[in-house]
Amino acid sequence: MCSFARSLSFCTYHSVSLARSLIPSLSQAACAIASGPVAAWPTLEPLLINAGVWKNEGTHSKLDAVYSLSTAVQLGSSLPAGWIYDRYGGRVAALVGALLAAVGLVIMSVACFFPAQLSWLMFVGYPLAMLGGGINSYGIFAFMWLMPDDQNFVASLASGAQSLSDMLALVAVGLSSCCGVFIGEFFLLLSVMSVFAGIFCYSIVPSVDVVNSLAAVALSQGESPESCEAFAQSKDGDGFMAKEFSSVKQSWVLMKQHAGANGMLLVFSTVYMLSMMYPMQQMYFYYQVLFNNNDTATKLVNIFAVIYGIGGFVCSLIGGKLCDRLGIQKFTLAVAGCSVVLSCCLPFANFTLQIVAQAVMLLGYTLYIIIVNRFAMLYAPPHLFGTFSGVQMTFISVGMLAGMSAVSTSVAFVGATGISSPKNT
């Protein structure tokens, strides 16, 4: 028998229209603060360089290495985030992720305040912030069964929160330009905000019992909240990590049962994400070489923060509805076209074309996240959604990290052979 509090909570989230429409949006706004709050790396790079991070010590290569590692960590965060989500629910994932992001931001701040001695802390702080941001965004997935007819839209809210969070990098640029706020001070302020955002999310995101009850009713697996205890409690063991390892095994079995579809997704994801993330990683330094002008490069990466924040948020919301309308197959084909358009725009030293390339880059990345989330919804039962998507993203992150390392090594080798860099035209 469920407690009165649980029944009341179930009725509240299931019946009150205000909660169904307003609370997910409020949760998204809070997650935007801690959901990868420093993901607009190209926009932050000039500020980090001005702060003296790795000054005269291979700045370019080390900043690239930090970004590559952090991107892989953020993608790989899906597995621990999935474990937390499946066992403890979205509200705990939101809180834990925000706290990890806050700690990472503090470490990054220390690296900026003492760059001569502690620049290496970027290898700890930035991946930790991105790890926390990835876990934090799972708080929004708790609303999928609150709005069962709009699950792609809810998934797009999570992607939209990450896009909105990138606007914070532009805030850092603005505060530095108009008020002289040091980037280390900004990271400290953002750390405090992340803590409050996590607490806020914990207070409004539905609990795991409520989510499982809603899922059972939506799937016609029971007629009341009490009938879904199988979702809330695993029979695979209550020991430390027993349920998590069992969930990984079950997810692996599901992937093998649909080996063809999963294999195609993993190959497509690795290649596609590499085509999007490597240009993003190299953006600031690429613009320096392409235009032979540091001011132009800085302007473009600042524009990227605006496009990524506002455009990514809008694209994610529209993309969820578009995926519902087109279906996952046609939607995936449309998204794949972004990579082709991007490759056509990048080589030209034209300011407008590079802005177009940025828009295509954010469109492709934002809509891709919807594909992965939708795939997990289709192939995994509700109680395995988090772990299943986490296992997939772990494979993707390993492949992408290996790919980015291979491309960086190849580029360095080409440079060492004396082949000329692109010139301004």
238 pLDDT more than 70: no
Choose the weakest-confidence range: 24-38, 182-196, 226-240, 328-342: 226-240
pLDDT at position 421: 44
pLDDT at position 20: 57
What would the pLDDT profile of 185-228 be if each residue is shown by its tens digit? 999 998 998 899 889 888 888 877 777 777 776 665 444 444 44
pLDDT at position 261: 83
Q: Which whole number is the average pLDDT over 243-266?
A: 83
Listed in sequence order, the residues at least 6 apart from 5 whose beta carbon sits closer than 8 Å to its beta carbon are none
d(CA 248, CA 258): 15
Residue with the larger pLDDT of the pair 312 and 379: 379
What would the pLDDT profile of 57-110 be if each residue is shown by its tens digit? 677 778 878 887 887 777 777 788 888 888 888 889 889 988 998 999 999 999
Which of 414, 425, 248, 273 lies closest to 336, judged by CA? Answer: 273
- The share of the chain scoring above pLDDT 90, in percent, equals 8
What would the pLDDT profile of 205-216 be if each residue is shown by its tens digit? 887 777 777 777
Average pLDDT, the chain: 77
Q: Which whole number is the average pLDDT over 157-185?
A: 78
2 pLDDT more than 50: no
117 pLDDT more than 70: yes
Instruction: Indicate the CATH number of 16-218+239-401 among 3.20.20.70, 3.40.50.2000, 3.30.930.10, 1.20.1250.20.
Output: 1.20.1250.20
Which of 124, 123, 145 lies closest to 65, judged by CA? Answer: 123
**Residue 240 has what DSSP assignment?**
T
pLDDT at position 227: 40
pLDDT at position 135: 86
pLDDT at position 99: 92
Tokens of 294: 């540091």
d(CA 160, CA 180): 30
Residue 130: other Cβ atoms inside 10 A: 29
425 pLDDT more than 50: no
d(CA 32, CA 140): 11
pLDDT at position 106: 93
pLDDT at position 8: 39
Which of 335, 211, 354 lies closest to 275, judged by CA? Answer: 335
Read off the pLDDT band of 241 (50, 70, 90).
low
pLDDT at position 362: 80
11 pLDDT more than 50: no
9 pLDDT more than 70: no
d(CA 411, CA 89): 43
Tokens of 378: 């289709």
pLDDT at position 30: 72
d(CA 272, CA 381): 27
pLDDT at position 109: 92
pLDDT at position 208: 79
Beta carbons of 56 and 315 less than 8 angstroms apart: no
Tokens of 68: 């590559």
Listed in sequence order, the residues at least 6 apart from 279 whose beta carbon sits closer than 8 Å to its beta carbon are 286, 342, 346, 357, 361
Residue 285: other Cβ atoms inside 10 A: 17
